[in-house]
Structure 1
């Protein structure tokens, strides 16, 4: 009887949790497409979120047609749309043009001092994980005095480049809010492929708001980090937009403006 009960429990689990990262390799960052392609306006999703989540239970990215900010937290998919609200779509119903995930197995946990800002967190993690040539997956939980986020609105063809989209991005100033940050610190050598340095997204505990982080100040919290020493990337196939995009340009200035909201 007990064996049958356990089988029934397994069968009732959400399929995306079963398919997510149980067989994904540890210590591996998995990515689809490149950040420079996204900057250039390649917003067509060619990988389902369900397929993406087979490679990890923590991640960030965006959705087909640039329809909001993506978070994957504890194996669950969240979409923060341009209205700042959080949605929980089926992973099989949406595709992504750009995302990074990993099977999160933290190797270090530490308390974050009160008053820590985005810059302070960067310095703290750099101290805890000084090897800048490896990827770091990051998860931070706690209470935030302030949280400054943004999201991006769904685009229609012909797609404008990303720096034009974010020049008029909806921004959200939150205060006294508890929630979770997830994201990555990427090495400098992935310039053009991913975001060198820190790229973090936020969702509140009530799962009502969040987005791409522009800044914050913490009241209290805890960080977990996972060093990733392997990197796997897939590129869009049978996608004319990607095939016809000039990826030889240096888009560093565009990326800084997009990531930091300094358009």
Structure 2
């Protein structure tokens, strides 16, 4: 199993380096390549960790900056996933709800997904092994990578958290009471980002992925999964832009400290 996947990875890496067309997909749309090769960020992960949950950017505005993304709802109400231009919140009942364009998010990341590399998965692999091998495909650890994984999954473990009321607790305390879902024998898609260490405190360093089923009924923040077969695609993205909240708790939160301990508790 591992050898088969590694052979695919080695081919993808080699072709990425030499520029062969077999493993590389179509280039970004030329009419808007600058905008499409940018990760658009709303607020910072360190602000969210400390309870800055008031929505500041509408989903209409977020969608103008990408067709793929992740984040959360206003007041932390559900796990956000954007896929093929459609945006959903997975709430604590485990169901996926289409979001209204006028609704807002306190924290999100979005981009237009134009994959640079695609790799087939034809034997079962768990999430830890898959993500570790994906990193061998990166030309650099100092860039952003949007990730899309489509496939058949014998097991998927996700989570969501409920909407919060003021005074907002810290995110690590909210996640201590998260709702966990175990999905079996489903098809679906995981999307998200690998963020370089240079953006620590701004976004989640390393991988941050959300999942939704093919019928768009269930999903959440991805905790674990096993992939039976499918494909994974990477979009190398060298640019990012940010919009910061101009009101609310964000203006008072202390962003000078090291919150890596809180982040580790939240991402488990």
| TM-score normalised by L of structure 1 | 0.88
Choose which of 56, 59, 62 in structure 1 pairs with 2:69: 59
Which of 113, 124, 129 matches 1:104? Answer: 113
Output one character per residue of 1:29-70: Cα deviation in whole Å (capped at 9) or x when no partner.
110100000000000001101001100000000010000000
The equivalent residue for 1:15 is none
Residue 176 of structure 2 corresponds to residue 167 of structure 1? yes
Q: How does 1:1-263 map to 2 (within 5 A)?
A: 25-92=35-102, 94-237=103-246, 239-260=247-268
Gaps of 5+ in 2: 1-31
Alignment deviations for residues 154-207 of structure 1 (CA, whole Å, 9 cap, x no partner): 111111000000001000011111000000000011111100000000000111
**Does the 8 Å contact 1:77/1:91 carry over to 2?**
no
Aligned residues: 238
- 8 Å Cα contact 2:59-2:99 kept in structure 1: no
Give the match's secondary structure for 2:130: helix
Q: Unaligned 5+ residue runs, structure 1?
A: 1-21
After TM superposition, the structure 1 stretch with the greater mean CA deviation from structure 2, 250-259 or 24-33, is 24-33
SS where residue 215 of structure 1 aligns? strand
- Aligned counterpart, 1:6: none
SS of the aligned residue for 1:176 comes to strand
Q: Secondary structure at the match of 1:37?
A: helix
Deviations 1:57-107 (A, max 9, x none): 000000100000000100011110011111112222x10000000011001
Once the two structures are TM-superposed, the CA of residue 114 in structure 1 deviates from its matched residue by: 2.1
Moved more, 106-115 or 183-192: 106-115
How far off is 1:23 after superposition? Answer: 8.5
Q: Report the Cα distance in structure 2 between the residues aligned to 1:143 and 1:192, rounded to whole angstroms.
A: 34
Distance 2:127 2:45 in 1: 22
- State the distance in 2 between where 1:208 and 1:183 align: 18
Contact 1:203–1:210 (Cα < 8 Å) also in 2: yes
1: CA distance, partners of 2:33 / 2:240: 16
Cα drift, residue 125 of structure 1: 1.4
Quick one: distance in 2 between partners of 1:253 and 1:216? 24
